[in-house]
Amino acid sequence: MATMIVPNSIAFQLSANSLFFLLLIIFCSSCKTTFAFQGTKSKSFHHILHLNSLLQSAACNSSTQGLHHQKSSLQVVHKHGPCSPLHLDRAKTPPTHAETFFQDEGRVRYIQSRLANKSGSKADVKVTDVANLPAKDGRVVGSGNYIVTVGVGTPKKQLSLIFDTGSDITWTQCEPCLGYCYHQRDAKFDPSVSSTYSNVSCNSVQCSSLVSATGHLPLCSLSTCVYRIQYGDSSFSTGFFAKERLTLTPFDVFDNFLFGCGQNNQGLFGGAAGLLGLGRDQLSLPSQTARKYNKIFSYCLPSSSSSIGFLTLGKCRRYGSKSVKFTPLSTSIQDSSFYGLDITGISVGGKRLSISASVFTTAGAIIDSGTVITRLPPDAYAALRSEFRQRMRRYRMGRELSILDTCYDFSKYKSVNIPKISFFFRGGVKLTIPLVGTLYVANVSQVCLAFAANSDASDIAIFGNTQQKTLQVIYDGAGGRVGFGTKGCY
Ligand SMILES: *[C@@H]1O[C@H](CO)[C@@H](O)[C@H](O)[C@H]1NC(C)=O
Ligand SMILES: *[C@@H]1O[C@H](CO)[C@@H](O)[C@H](O)[C@H]1NC(C)=O
Ligand SMILES: *[C@@H]1O[C@H](CO)[C@@H](O)[C@H](O)[C@H]1NC(C)=O
Ligand SMILES: *[C@@H]1O[C@H](CO)[C@@H](O)[C@H](O)[C@H]1NC(C)=O
């Protein structure tokens, strides 16, 4: 059933007449070719999706961890699934697809409202008094869905934190939870039994640095600095700003790491103990450990919730390898937290889409570990969808799935051909999205193109975590660039 698009006659001509083939290549090297030589190169323009591979394993495959796992690496797992330490928590059921996308919309709106203000100020997020926000209904949160486990305090306590390239301050729920602590799987951190914990005082420079990291002025309680951070509409954390020993791996132990000891925390953090901030501000983990790692880290998000990825601090083995392609951080993003990218084009099945350059420059773009589905400017998404549908026209379409409007019913097939989608970034970087990042699979009768449109042409584009799966994404804060390598993990 998996047939090739190009008629056999062309394939025959190409192999039978190599001179003609050569002439075609020469001709087309100057014409931004829309010819696709699938006769000889079909594999490079399509993924072949085997439908029996879509059955998700119910057990964690721990042997999948890290093709490029190394010394200063932490395991990265999906929050909901057999590899997650939160998995055994009966109090939590994984969100439905609709809930996942609803939360994703919340995160996107939050990011877009923060970045809508090109002045770079985060202060437009309105939290006048976090401690008095009403107990919420668990609506929007958007704090990503991959977690790592780190050690905090002495003796160290293992805490599972959501990792987030879109925020800076690291925090965990702390006893005695003076305001409110949501249910978490790990025991809550208790600073009173740690010998390395200390409060940060109100008049310190560290306390003042909270303004840019959180977008809120710190408060002061009995001379202890109090941080406040809000994510989206209804999740937040506030508490004492403190220093503590952070143990990432046995080789990576940091004393006096600045973090939030959360006394009032609410949101859909899914049973995680808090959040690990990997943004660009001075309070983020990469910034606080810059002396050792030079603000360099990389991660690989696993292809499914039953496999394991990694977060590596410092230069990974592939850092200087030709298999990693770097694009400079975009200068159009003024916000101090986000990693901006300049998208320059998109191709589908080897064909570069005709999208005016201004479509991408008007919107700008960031890469985010917490947004699930990549959001594109409306014109860019329309072009992508149209070409994808055209190339998929032999397959029966299925029902839409929330924000995903291009879905297929593959229940009658054993394998199907999926056109490859590539993104182009400034610096001549071409990134071909792996198959697992091209489609969002609800089940075999609802397999959807995993991209969505922004509602407004001026909204920022977001390169989301579905599209990053199995890639090794290298953040080089010192070098001002982001790199992509394929086959980072399973
Ligand atoms: C675990 O994953 C590896 C890599 O994808 C695969 O080769 C192996 O068969 C898997 N094992 C199980 C039990 O699924
Ligand atoms: C930008 O931020 C300033 C100060 O926070 C605010 O007054 C202004 O309304 C914001 N502009 C937009 C377009 O959001
Ligand atoms: C930190 O400050 C809070 C509030 O002032 C106080 O209750 C707590 O005992 C302090 N902890 C330490 C270890 O000083
Ligand atoms: C596939 O998933 C959709 C959405 O979750 C659901 O409505 C539908 O019944 C499912 N179909 C099958 C065959 O499981």
Interior angle at CA 398, CA 410 and CA 470, nearest 5? 60
59 lies in some domain: no
393 assigned to some structural domain? yes
362 shares a domain with 258 = no
Residue 103 lies inside a defined structural domain of this protein: yes
Of 290, 313, 336, the domain-final residue: 313
**Which residue's CA is the nearest one to ligand 1's atom 11?**
61
Question: Is residue 170 in some structural domain?
Answer: yes
What pLDDT is stored for residue 333 in this prediction?
82
Question: Residue 370's CB: how many other CB atoms inside 10 A?
Answer: 27
Whether ligand 3 lies within 6 angstroms of the CB of 45 is answered as: no
Q: Please tell me whether the peptide bond between 191 and the residue prior to it is cis, using omega within 30 degrees of 0.
A: no
Write a three-state SS string for 383-427.
Answer: HHHHHHHHHCCCCCECCCECCECCEECCCCCCEEEEECEEEEECC
Confidence at residue 88, expressed as pLDDT on a 0 to 100 scale: 67
End residue of a domain, out of 283, 313, 343: 313
CATH of the domain at 435: 2.40.70.10
**Residue of the nearest CA to atom 10 in ligand 1?**
61
Atom of ligand 1 nearest to the CA of 63: 1
CB-ligand 3 contact for 16 (6 Å cutoff) = no
The verdict on 299 and 396 lying in the same domain is no
Q: Quick one: which H or E segment has residue 310?
A: strand 309-313
In a domain, 146, yes or no: yes
Q: 56 C-alpha to center of ligand 1: Å? A: 12
Residue 23 domain-assigned?
A: no
How many structural domains does the chain have? 2
- What pLDDT was estimated at residue 298? 94
Are 400 and 98 within 8 A, CB to CB? no
Q: Which residue has its alpha carbon closest to ligand 2 atom 5?
A: 124
In this structure, is residue 443 part of a structural domain? yes
This prediction has a pTM of 0.84
Q: 33: burial class by Cβ within 10 Å (0-12, 13-18, 19+)?
A: middle
Instruction: Establish whether residue 442 lines the binding site of ligand 4, counting it when its CB lies within 6 angstroms of any ligand atom.
Output: yes
Instruction: Cite the active site residues.
Output: 164, 368
Both 298 and 329 in one domain: the answer is: no
The per-residue pLDDT string of the chain (490 residues; one tens digit each, 9 = 90 and over) reads: 343 333 333 333 334 344 333 333 333 333 332 232 333 344 589 999 998 888 777 788 877 665 555 677 889 988 888 888 877 665 567 778 888 888 888 888 888 888 874 444 444 333 333 333 333 323 333 446 899 999 999 999 999 999 899 889 999 999 999 999 998 889 999 999 999 999 999 999 999 999 988 888 999 999 999 999 988 657 899 999 999 999 999 889 999 999 999 999 988 787 889 999 999 999 999 999 999 999 999 999 998 888 899 999 988 888 888 889 999 999 988 777 899 999 999 999 999 999 999 999 999 999 999 899 999 999 999 999 999 999 999 999 999 999 999 999 999 999 999 999 999 999 999 999 999 999 999 999 999 999 999 999 999 999 999 999 999 999 999 999 999 999 888 8
Same domain, 164 and 303: yes
Same domain for 204 and 118, yes or no, is yes
Nearest-CA neighbor of 313 among 46, 69, 2, 35?
69
457 in ligand 2 pocket by Cβ < 6 Å?
A: no
Could you tell me if residue 60 is inside a domain? no
For residues 251 and 370, state if they share a domain: no
> Which of 110, 114, 121, 124 is the best mutation target for the ligand 2 pocket, counting ligand atoms within 8 Å of the beta carbon and taking the most?
124
What local confidence, expressed as pLDDT, does residue 155 receive? 97
227 and 333 assigned to the same domain = no
* Shortest-distance ligand to the CA of residue 113: 2
CB burial of residue 129 (10 Å; 0-12, 13-18, 19+): exposed
Task: Convert the pLDDT of each residue in 37-87 to its tens digit.
Answer: 333 344 589 999 998 888 777 788 877 665 555 677 889 988 888 888 877
Considering the domain architecture, whether residues 162 and 239 belong to the same structural domain is answered as: yes
Give the number of the ligand closest to the Cα of residue 53: 1
Q: Cβ distance 438 to 449 under 8 Å?
A: yes
Is the domain of 218 the same as that of 75?
A: yes
pLDDT of residue 406: 98
Range of the domain at 126: 65-313
What pLDDT is stored for residue 66 in this prediction?
Answer: 54
Task: Check residue 80 and give its pLDDT.
Answer: 81
Determine contact, residues 348/47, Cβ cutoff 8 Å: no
* Residue at token pair 């350059």: 357
The residue to mutate among 117, 121, 126, having the most atoms of ligand 2 within 8 angstroms of its beta carbon, is 117
Do 302 and 329 fall within a single domain? no
Q: Are residues 77 and 226 in the same domain?
A: yes
Tell which of 280, 313, 346 closes a domain: 313
